[in-house]
Chain A
Amino acid sequence: MEGATTWQIWLAAIVTLGIYSYLINDNKLYRLLLNVMIGLGVGYNFIIMWKQVLQPLWWEPMTRGFAAVFNGFAPGSAQALWVLVGLLGTLWYFQFSRKYLWLSRIVIGMTLGAGAGVVFKQQLLMNMPQIADSFRPLIARADGTPLVGGSAAPLSLWMSLNNIIFVGTIVCVMVYFFFSFEHKWAPVRHTARLGRWLLMVSFGAFFGNTVMTRMAVFLERLQFLLRDWLRIG
Chain B
Amino acid sequence: MEWLARLQSIDRRWIYAAIWVACALPFVVNIKLPVYVSPETRRLYEFIEKCPPDKVVLVDSVWDAGSQGENWGQVEVVFEHLFRRRIPFIVISLEVTPLGPQFADKVIEKLVREKFPDRKYGVDWVNLGYTKGGWQAMQQIAKDIRQQYKKDSRGYSLDDAERLPLMQRVRNIEDIYLIYSVTYSPLEDWIAFIHGVYGTPIAFGCAGIQSTTYYRYLLSGQLVGMLVGVRGAAEYDALLHPDLRDRNSLGTKLIVPQAFGHLVIIVAVILGNIGYFAARRRRG
B212's contact among A23, A209, A218, A221, by CB below 8 Å, is which?
Answer: A209
Q: Which residues in A have some Cβ–Cβ distance to B below 8 Å?
A: 2, 23-24, 44-45, 48-49, 52-53, 56-57, 60, 118, 121-123, 125-126, 129-130, 132-133, 202, 205-206, 209-223, 226-227, 232-233
B209's contact among A122, A206, A220, by CB below 8 Å, is which?
Answer: A206
Q: When the two chains form their complex, are residues B132 and A53 in contact, meaning their CB atoms are under 8 A apart?
A: yes
A220's contact among B68, B193, B220, B221, by CB below 8 Å, is which?
Answer: B68
Q: How far is the CA of A23 from the CA of B11 in the complex (A)?
A: 12
Q: When the two chains form their complex, are residues B197 and A125 in contact, meaning their CB atoms are under 8 A apart?
A: yes
B260 shortest CB reach to chain A, Å: 10
Closest to B195 in A: A125
Asked if B188 CB lies within 8 Å of chain A CBs, one says yes
Q: How far is the CA of A49 from the CA of B24 in the complex (A)?
A: 39
Q: How far is the CA of A2 from the CA of B210 in the complex (A)?
A: 29
Q: When the two chains form their complex, are residues A220 and B72 in contact, meaning their CB atoms are under 8 A apart?
A: yes
A-chain residues with CB within 8 Å of residue B131 when the two chains form the complex: 52-53
A23's contact among B13, B193, B217, B222, by CB below 8 Å, is which?
Answer: B13
Q: When the two chains form their complex, are residues B211 and A209 in contact, meaning their CB atoms are under 8 A apart?
A: yes
Given A213-B208, A216-B69, residue A52 in contact with residue B98 (CB < 8 A): yes
Interface residues of B in 232-259 (CB under 8 A from A): 250, 253-254, 257-258
Q: When the two chains form their complex, are residues B209 and A210 in contact, meaning their CB atoms are under 8 A apart?
A: yes
Q: When the two chains form their complex, are residues A2 and B110 in contact, meaning their CB atoms are under 8 A apart?
A: yes
Given A212-B209, A218-B23, A219-B69, residue A233 in contact with residue B28 (CB < 8 A): yes
Closest to A136 in B: B219
Q: When the two chains form their complex, are residues B135 and A216 in contact, meaning their CB atoms are under 8 A apart?
A: no
26 contacts between A and B (CB under 8 A): A23-B16, A44-B98, A48-B98, A52-B131, A57-B148, A60-B150, A122-B189, A123-B192, A126-B191, A133-B219, A209-B208, A212-B231, A212-B262, A214-B209, A215-B258, A216-B207, A217-B69, A218-B23, A218-B69, A218-B261, A219-B230, A219-B257, A220-B69, A222-B24, A223-B27, A232-B27
B-chain residues with CB within 8 Å of residue A121 when the two chains form the complex: 192
Q: How far is the CA of A205 from the CA of B213 in the complex (A)?
A: 10
Q: When the two chains form their complex, are residues A219 and B261 in contact, meaning their CB atoms are under 8 A apart?
A: yes
Q: How far is the CA of A220 from the CA of B67 in the complex (A)?
A: 9
Interface size for B (C-beta < 8 A) is 60
Q: When the two chains form their complex, are residues A129 and B211 in contact, meaning their CB atoms are under 8 A apart?
A: no
Q: How far is the CA of A118 from the CA of B189 in the complex (A)?
A: 10
Q: When the two chains form their complex, are residues B130 and A217 in contact, meaning their CB atoms are under 8 A apart?
A: no
Closest to B25 in A: A233
Asked if B60 CB lies within 8 Å of chain A CBs, one says no
Q: How far is the CA of A202 from the CA of B213 in the complex (A)?
A: 10
Main secondary structure, interface of A, reads helix
Closest to A221 in B: B69
Given A216-B70, A223-B27, A227-B27, residue A53 in contact with residue B192 (CB < 8 A): no
Q: How far is the CA of A47 from the CA of B151 in the complex (A)?
A: 17
Which 3 A-B residue pairings sit nearest by Cβ, starting from the closest?
A125-B196, A220-B69, A48-B98
Q: When the two chains form their complex, are residues A122 and B98 in contact, meaning their CB atoms are under 8 A apart?
A: no
Closest to A52 in B: B130
Asked if B53 CB lies within 8 Å of chain A CBs, one says no
Asked if B121 CB lies within 8 Å of chain A CBs, one says no
B-chain residues with CB within 8 Å of residue A2 when the two chains form the complex: 106, 109-110
Q: How far is the CA of A128 from the CA of B109 in the complex (A)?
A: 41
Asked if B225 CB lies within 8 Å of chain A CBs, one says no
Closest to B26 in A: A233
B99 shortest CB reach to chain A, Å: 7
Given A122-B192, A216-B254, residue A233 in contact with residue B208 (CB < 8 A): no
A194 shortest CB reach to chain B, Å: 20
Closest to B213 in A: A206
Q: How far is the CA of A191 from the CA of B205 in the complex (A)?
A: 35
Q: When the two chains form their complex, are residues A209 and B254 in contact, meaning their CB atoms are under 8 A apart?
A: no
B229's contact among A49, A125, A209, by CB below 8 Å, is which?
Answer: A209
B-chain residues with CB within 8 Å of residue A218 when the two chains form the complex: 19, 23, 69, 261
B264 shortest CB reach to chain A, Å: 10
A-chain residues with CB within 8 Å of residue B229 when the two chains form the complex: 209, 212-213, 216
B-chain residues with CB within 8 Å of residue A130 when the two chains form the complex: 216-217, 220, 222
Q: When the two chains form their complex, are residues A49 and B132 in contact, meaning their CB atoms are under 8 A apart?
A: yes
B-chain residues with CB within 8 Å of residue A223 when the two chains form the complex: 27, 253-254, 257
B-chain residues with CB within 8 Å of residue A227 when the two chains form the complex: 27
Q: How far is the CA of A38 from the CA of B162 in the complex (A)?
A: 40
Q: How far is the CA of A149 from the CA of B207 in the complex (A)?
A: 40
Q: When the two chains form their complex, are residues A211 and B262 in contact, meaning their CB atoms are under 8 A apart?
A: yes
B-chain residues with CB within 8 Å of residue A56 when the two chains form the complex: 150-151
